[in-house]
Structure 1
Amino acid sequence: MHLLTLFFGTVLLHKAYTLTCYECPMGSRGTCTDTQKECPAQCAAIRVTSYAGGSKLVDAHMKSCAAALECGEGSINFGVAKTVITSKCCHSNLCNTQPVPEPSRFSPNGRKCFQCDGQTCTATLNCEGNEDHCISTTVKVGGTKSTVKGCASKMVCSNTAAAELKDTVGGDFSCCEGDYCNSASSTSAGLLLLVTPLISLVMFS
């Protein structure tokens, strides 16, 4: 009897705490309300915006499920290139209908990290907005590995986001807290290698 009660209780609780959300792949256009999926916690509309040299390179939208740490706004900033991930979460069936607005305008927040400039990673990058971590990652492009460094938000450095970035970039990835904690080792990263991991974040889900 107890086993039967436990079984039905588990099934009913699962149904009670499962939401139906809209699901659209990254890069979708329009309202994108054709596909639905079951989500365990909350729905989300997500926007990924990438900039390089002051110009917007990518502005992509998607809809899906989201964990608590994936809600809000976070960024990863390598100086010449930056990506902002904005997630608007909600907690009712099919609530993720509206697109996410433009990301915030960021101002320097006083934190400082190393960034790569030419052949070395000794240049200072002034972190912006909620970028409260320094980041160091190895980028693999065409069989060549190079290191890139910069600033990142806590959301980007969370376990879920870090795993996504590591899989996408195909290299090592680490975050740390404290000014200049991402060390100043040399590298051979060029502009293309700095931009590549940011564009790759369009695959973030």
Structure 2
Amino acid sequence: MKKFVFWLAALAAFVLSCNNPNRSEPGEIADLKRELSNLESDEALMKVRVGEKDFYSENMPFKTNVLLLPQSFKVGFLNKEGGNVEMEMIRDSWFEEKPINFSLTNSNLGESGGDQVIVMIGKLTDEMALQGEGYFLVNGKIEVPELSRQVITIVFKGNLVKPGQASTVENYVPVEGWIVVKEPDFSDQSSAEILKQLDEK
């Protein structure tokens, strides 16, 4: 009888974990969410790891710009240190798909499929000389686990190259990123239909 009760409890715990929508939420996203109370509306926090190093200062707020259209999801981020990220993912009816995922392939290496994706990552390294460090994403995946009036979360992983470099494996720099936006202020040019669906969630 005790064994039966034990297995019943274990089964219940398993079912509850399967029904938990945040069960697979990355630890980095959870960590960033814990800091959201320190942000203003329409600000974001992110952790971006380029190679073996964090690319941006920890817990540095970014101002955001979000545009939702039936054929594209575009978002930009800028912080006071000159850090900036620009992302545009293009695919018809992307908003109707759950989960929301995009992929980028490197056609120069014969990779096929994928979506139209533009991701640029940069920062100022010398403000006086206006010198910076920047990269383009050449292949990878972008996931949008949450998209609502309250929060947007974005997770991406892939390979970068510096501007002017060939998109070859020898020039690849690995990247992983986690972004959380608090109460995004969507652009006035965003699709009224998509915003309506967000309001109905």
TM-score, structure 1 as length reference: 0.24
Higher relative contact order (CA 8 A, sep 6+): 2
